Amino acid sequence: MAELGCQEMVGLVTEYLEGTLGPRDRRRIEEHLAECDACVRYIEQMRETLKLLGTVPVDTLSPEAQSTLLEAFRDLKR
Amino acid sequence: MGREEGELIAALRAGDEAVFSRLVSEWSRSMLTLARHFVSTEASAEEVVQETWLAVIKGLDRFEGRSALRTWVYRILVNTAKSRGVKEHRTLPWSSVAGDDAGPSLDPALFQSTGEAYPGHWRAAPTAWPHDVAVEGSVLAGELRGELRTVVDALPDRQRLVLTLRDVLGHSSDEVCQLLDISQANQRVLLHRARTAVRAGLAAYLEGS
């Protein structure tokens, strides 16, 4: 099988991180990473991106809506 | 049904307000994100989430526990949001990953082409990022969080939704596939394109600053 190029590596990075690659592709990626600092850096940046994404705040319901729901819950259980 | 799950349902049926409030506060983040995809406005999405919780309150005693509580709640949400979306004439095809999701995910010009010394290899390695890029509490991380919102908001709809559910809200791929009724392969393509674009957006920002 042909040696893995960087462009192909970049295309497989999500499958690699998700653990959905077959053993052969996984080995090709690991062999490539052992010799390619640029791709190691790319994957590291992808991991940092994911870490940052996990810290992005997402809105929840307004406090007013939440207390309306709590009242409805209370009423039904009364 | 796990023990924890059983306790959760029992607590809700017994009228445990603390448990109910916690679920509403935690789950509504994902619910709003999901609902917003199917309806036209934020306000409409809020209503869908509220409507869903009301249906959950009323349906609790009938819930048979054949699926996880969260799955049940989210299914009500998706159904409610979809019918609201139909009324608002907002329709989004989920059947294919064509259109704005096609094309190369990372600029091919970054790589050498055939005829050059190393086809398919980087022309130049990605520029190094500062070491504190993702360090919690660092000034840079705070700044990038703001930039991330801009980059994520600019993604095509389905990519943004999948990325938000997976990487921001922490849902599993199984859960996302089930919620959106898409295949694993489809989910992965959308996630891959979204992640690639977001990393590239951060890289552009860091190189420009």
- Residue B82 and residue B105 in one domain: no
Task: Report the Cα–Cα distance between both ends of chain B, in Å, rounded.
Answer: 51
Q: Please identify, among B32, B58, B87, the residue that sits at the C-terminal boundary of a domain.
A: B87
Residue ending a domain, among B52, B87, B122, is B87
Q: Is residue B94 part of a domain?
A: no
- The residue segments making up the domain with residue B136 are 99-208
CATH number at residue B40: 1.10.1740.10
Same domain, B115 and B159: yes
pLDDT, tens digit, 9 for 90 and up, residues B89-105? 776 655 444 455 555 67
For the segment B118-146, what is each residue's pLDDT rounded down to a tens digit? 889 999 999 999 988 888 888 888 899 88
Is the same domain home to B204 and B110? yes
Residues B145 and B64 in one domain: no
- Residue B196 lies inside a defined structural domain of this protein: yes
Q: How many domains does chain B have?
A: 2
User: Which ipTM did the prediction report?
Assistant: 0.91
Q: Mean pLDDT across chain A, nearest whole number?
A: 93
The answer on B79 and B107 residing in a single domain is no
Residue B134: per-residue pLDDT = 81
B20 plus B58 within the same structural domain: yes
d(CA A45, CA A17): 12
Tell me whether residue B93 is in a domain: no
Average pLDDT on B154-168 reads 94
Structure confidence at residue B97 (pLDDT):
44
Say whether B2 sits in a helix, a strand or coil: coil
Residues in A lying within 8 Å of B, measured between beta carbons: 5-8, 10-11, 13-15, 18, 20, 37-39, 41-42, 45-46, 48-56, 58-62, 65-66, 68-70, 72-74, 76-77
Residue B92, domain member (yes or no): no
Q: Are residues B77 and B113 in the same domain?
A: no
**Chain A within 8 Å of B59 (Cβ-Cβ)?**
no
pLDDT band at B209 (very low <50, low <70, confident <90, very high): low
- A33: which chain B residues are within 8 Å (Cβ-Cβ)? none
| Number of Cβ atoms within 10 Å of the Cβ of B103 | 8
More confident residue, B182 or B103: B182
The dihedrals phi and psi of B81, each to the nearest 5 degrees, come to -65, -40
Q: Give the SS3 label for residue B122.
A: strand
Supply the pLDDT for residue B16: 95
Is there a single domain that holds both residue B21 and residue B113?
no
pLDDT digits (tens, 9 = 90+) for A3-43: 789 999 999 999 999 999 999 999 999 999 999 999 999 99
Q: Are residues B51 and B113 in the same domain?
A: no
For residues B172 and B5, the model is more confident at B172
Residue B163 near residue B151, CB atoms below 8 Å: no
B59: left (phi over 0), alpha (psi -120 to 50) or beta: alpha
Q: What is the pLDDT averaged over residues A55-63?
A: 92
B111 and B13, same structural domain? no
DSSP A16-57: HHHT-S-HHHHHHHHHHHHH-HHHHHHHHHHHHHHHHHTT--
Q: Does B50 touch chain A (CB under 8 A)?
A: yes
Nearest CB neighbour to A14, from listed B133, B168, B195? B195
Q: What pLDDT digit, counting tens, does each position of B11-65 carry?
A: 999 999 999 999 999 999 999 999 998 998 999 999 999 999 999 999 998 888 7
